[in-house]
Structure 1
Amino acid sequence: MKKYIMGIDIGGTKCAVLLGRAQGDADDIIIDKLRFETRVGRGWRAVTEELLDNVEEIIKKNALSPEDILCAGISCGGPLDSRRGVILAPPNLPDWECVPIVDMIEERFGFDAYLQNDANACALAEWKFGAGKGLRNMIFLTFGTGMGAGLILDGKLYSGTNDMAGEVGHMRIAADGPIGYGKRGSFEGFCSGGGIGRLAQEMARKTLENGGSTLMCKTAEDIENITAKSAAEAAENGDETAKEVYRICGEKLGEGLAILADILDPQAIIIGSIFARSGHLLKDSMEKALHREALSQTAGCRIIPAGLGEKIGDLASLGIALDAAANGGKA
């Protein structure tokens, strides 16, 4: 029986190759890891060649052969076609148009490979190892640079007809508001790092124009430097404008959660990144909006911070491999 799996994480800044056990938990599944800087400017062929060389290196380094590997999971930002195993054109990977990454790995090494976007990969990681362990119906929300979802429904990852399930950042939450996913007032516009930063800048500008002050910036010239993180730090220190930014974002988060809860009726919605760090600034207004907007039967779903922390990036690609193996692999 093959005892090993591979994980491959492709990012705009760094890439990672992981060797893992085909069975294990978050603390002991990873055997070894290699990382390198993506340096996207050199083109996808150079990056994928280094990626494949790293796969070969980590196998040899651990005295294994490709025949010992059950399968590999690949995590990459979308858009992509998981069924064909093709990376289409991620914003953080310029020039990566129609890159057949799965075929490249399978042809060189002989074991099966599976591709998922990072939201789906993180959903699998939290489901297999983290806050969603043991659940049959859960939603994972990224709530980081953007807002996307991975859906575990009836004990399986759900990707939809066109591989587009979970693009919740595109939902319109308000007629007006910060722009996210190309749409003003979208879920991503209010509930993402960029969206919170833009809202904080707008509200800081109004505060200064009205003769007030805010810890987020000393002068109007500093407004463009405000980020979600600096706004959270100001809110932590009692700044009223920053606290209002997070109150608004929490309310819109709750409204978005209510829509998801009513449509999908999950046991839990697990939220990563910003919520895991700053959930206490969002929680009160989020819960009020959720219970105001959702049906009483669905409003009781648990809202949980992601449990894997910094480990989620490594475990995401391995989670893809484990899920594929559990579902019988390729026919």
Structure 2
Amino acid sequence: MASESPGVSERLLCGLDIGGTKIGVAIGREDGALLAATSFPTDAGAHPEQLLAEALDRWRQLAVSLGGGDRPAAVGAACPGPVSTSLGRFLDPPNMPAWHGFPLMEWLAKRCAAPSAMMNDADASVLAEVNWGAARGARCAVFLTMSTGMGAGLYLGGDVYEGASSLAGEIGHIRLRDDGPVGFGKRGSVEGYLSGPGMVQVAQTEARGCIQTGEPSVLVELFQADTLTPEALCAAAVAGDAASRRVIERCATELGRLLALLVDLLNPEVIVLGTIGAAHPELFIPRAREVMMQEAIPHSARIVRIEPSPLSQRGHLAALAVALRAWERRDVSSG
């Protein structure tokens, strides 16, 4: 390998976890070691260039504090979709209008002079899982976000699969039922049942039913106090609240139907659950697996593993996985 230029932090990667509420900044090595990380709020009124400049400044401060140079060996960004990796820019991420059309790769090329790459957060997450997490070593894996939205990162045949225009894996838009909670602008959709806001919709419907029948439930208390969240729902289910457990079973059943679709279509080795599914695998995986085994091709269903993500700092590691990919695919002749 060509020697590093002066000031370059040898093999220290810069990961940018860009989100609508905060921007995470991570410094790590290619072995997945997260050396340091920080974050700061995403100011909705600030221009992306201002926020990114602050992110790089924070990375440099971390690198210098670790005894490294002030330039990263490679930069990776995990971004809210939709993005176009071929164009190197954001498309129109919801709730982030200032970022619509922003040419991230062009900006990084001017500011960093280092190999750089961007991916949507689901694709970045499946890459992190394959490198260091529950899908380590797999050649065919799926990551399900189960967060504010519901998307999938697809790793097929040994590489991330993005589709013709970087929009593969938008499974939240798939309709599971003709009616039901709304997600991705569609009733009865995957996102309606399996995103955090979607689960809250299912729980609200159950709480209204409890009020009508007079059934006492923690859900009713949470609903009336306007404190019904995915975390509160799961906590109530763990504590044994009957109505909460019915909500979880309903959502887990729809998760099982989704798993069956993915298994029949992709025949993956492993499907990894993020965020809500990772926090409470005992609530979701048994029922989801039961439904999947009933509905999927038997041989494919038998070999697939359904795993919670073990990566506690997944956002940072997802961004670092993208940086590592940029490093590995750099043009050595230009180094």
Q: Tell whether the structures are fold-level matches, with TM greater than 0.5.
A: yes
**Corresponding residue of 2:13:** 5
Counterpart CA distance in 2 for 1:80 and 1:63 is 32
2:147 aligned counterpart, secondary structure: coil
Of 235, 239, 243, 2:241 maps to 239
Q: Post-superposition shift, 1:119?
A: 0.6
Match of 1:101 in 2: 104
**SS across alignment from 1:206:** helix
Q: 1:288: Cα distance to partner?
A: 2.0
CA distance 1:235–1:17, shift in 2 (3 Å): closer
Cα drift, residue 58 of structure 1: 4.2
Structure-2 residue corresponding to 1:218 = 221
Where in structure 2 are the equivalents of 1:205-284 lying within 5 Å?
205-218=208-221, 221-222=224-225, 224-284=226-286
CA–CA separation in structure 1 for the residues paired with 2:109 and 2:329: 19
Residue 219 to residue 164, structure 1, CA distance change in 2 (3 Å): closer
Aligned to 1:315: 317
Post-superposition offset of 1:198: 0.7
- Secondary structure of 2:149's counterpart equals coil
Percent pairwise identity: 35
Most deviating of 316-325 and 51-60: 51-60
The TM-score, its normalising length taken from structure 1, stands at 0.91
Quickly say closer, same or farther: Cα 1:221–1:195, change in 2 above 3 A.
Answer: same
1:42 Cα deviation from its structure 2 partner: 2.7
Structure 1: stretches of 5+ with no match in the other structure:
none
Select the residue among 120, 127, 131 that pairs with 2:130: 127
8 A contact 2:285–2:306 mirrored in 1: no
Matching residue within 54, 57, 62 for 2:58: 54
What is the SS of the residue equivalent to 2:301? coil
Q: CA RMSD in A?
A: 2.0
1:282 to partner: Cα distance? 2.1
Correspondence for 1:149: 152
What is the count of residue pairs matched by the alignment? 323
Whole-angstrom CA distance in 1 between matches of 2:149 and 2:157: 26
Equivalent residue, structure 2, for 1:113: 116
Q: Which residue of 1 aligns with 2:69?
A: 64
Q: Residue 208 of structure 1: CA displacement?
A: 0.9
- The residue number in structure 2 matching 1:37 is 41
Higher RCO structure (Cα 8 Å, ≥6 apart)? 2
Decide whether the 8 Å contact of 1:40 with 1:47 is kept in 2. Answer: no
231-240 or 158-167: which moved more? 231-240
Q: In structure 1, how many angstroms separate the alpha carbons of the residues matched to 2:220 and 2:182?
A: 22
TM-score (norm 2): 0.90
1:98 is paired with a residue whose SS is coil
CA deviation profile, 1:56-77 (whole Å, cap 9, x unmatched): 44455544153xx432111111
Which residue, 189, 196, 216 being the options, matches 1:193?
196
The equivalent of 1:176 in structure 2 is 179
Displacement after TM superposition at 1:82 (Å): 1.3
Q: Is the 8 A contact 2:149 2:191 kept in 1?
A: yes
TM-superposition CA deviations, 1:200-245 (whole Å, max 9, x none): 01111011111222112238733x4322222212212222111110
